[in-house]
C-alpha cells in the first residue's frame, strides 16, 4: 500500500516509474557486462602471456 501512497503523493504513474527504473537497471547491467568483459579479456591476455613466457623458458632450457 505504501507504493500507492507514494504514487499519489508524487503523481508518478506506475508505468512511467517502472520504465524509468528499468532503464537505469539496463544501464547498470550493460555497464557491468562491459567491465566484466574487459576484466576477462585482460586476465585472458595475461594468462596467455604467462603461457608464452613459460614456453620460451622451456625452449631455452631444452635448446
Residues 50-56, mean pLDDT to the nearest whole number = 91
How many domains are contained in the chain? 1
Confidence (pTM): 0.39
Question: Among candidates 16, 55, 51, 35, which has minimal Cα distance to 6?
Answer: 16
Q: Label residue 35 by pLDDT band (50, 70, 90).
A: confident
Q: Label residue 42 by pLDDT band (50, 70, 90).
A: confident
CA gap 54, 63 in Å, rounded: 14
Phi-psi region of 11 (alpha: psi -120 to 50; beta: other; left: phi over 0): left
Which ranges constitute the DSSP H helices of the chain? 2-10, 14-62
Residue 56 lies in domain: 2-62
Amino acid at each position: 500500500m505504501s507504493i500507492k501512497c507514494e504514487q499519489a503523493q508524487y503523481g508518478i504513474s506506475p508505468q512511467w516509474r517502472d520504465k524509468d527504473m528499468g532503464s537505469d537497471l539496463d544501464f547498470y547491467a550493460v555497464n557491468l557486462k562491459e567491465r566484466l568483459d574487459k576484466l576477462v579479456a585482460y586476465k585472458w591476455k595475461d594468462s596467455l602471456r604467462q603461457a608464452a613466457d613459460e614456453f620460451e623458458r622451456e625452449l631455452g632450457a631444452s635448446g
